[in-house]
Amino acid sequence: MAELTLEVVRREGTGKESAGKLRQNGKIPAVVYGGHREPVAITVDRKTVSELIQKSEHGVRSIFLLKMTGSDQQRHAMIKDIQINPMTRRMTHIDFVRVAMDEKVRVTVPVHTVGTAAGVKDGGILDFQVRELHVECLPNQIPDTIDIDVTSLTGHQYFRISDLKLPEGVKVLDDPERVVVGVTHAKAEETPAEGAAGTAEPEVIKKGKPEEEKK
Q: Which of 3, 79, 72, 6 is nearest to 44 (CA)?
A: 6
Res. 185 pLDDT band, cuts 50 70 90 = confident
pTM flag (> 0.75)? no
Q: What is the pLDDT of residues 24-71, one digit of tens each?
A: 999 999 999 998 889 999 999 999 999 999 988 778 888 999 999 989
CATH of domain 3-98: 2.40.240.10
Q: What is the DSSP letter of 198?
A: T
- Asked whether 106 and 136 are in contact (CB, 8 A), the reply is yes
Residues 75, 81, 87, CA angle at the centre, nearest 5°? Answer: 130
CATH of domain 105-197: 2.170.120.20
- DSSP per residue over 3-63, as a string? EEEEEEEE----SHHHHHHHHHTTEEEEEEEETTEEEEEEEEEHHHHHHHHHHSTTGGG-E
C-alpha 179/C-alpha 182 separation (Å) is 8
Q: What is the pLDDT of residues 198-208, one digit of tens each?
A: 444 444 444 44
At 210, which amino acid appears? P
Q: Is the pLDDT of residue 107 over 70?
A: yes
3-state secondary structure of 136: strand
The domain locations on the chain are 3-98, 105-197
CA distances from 11 to 62, 63, 212 (A): 23, 22, 9
Q: Which residues pair with 184 in a beta bridge?
A: 125
At 50, which amino acid appears? S
C-alpha 116/C-alpha 150 separation (Å) is 6
Q: What is the largest CA-CA distance in the chain?
A: 83
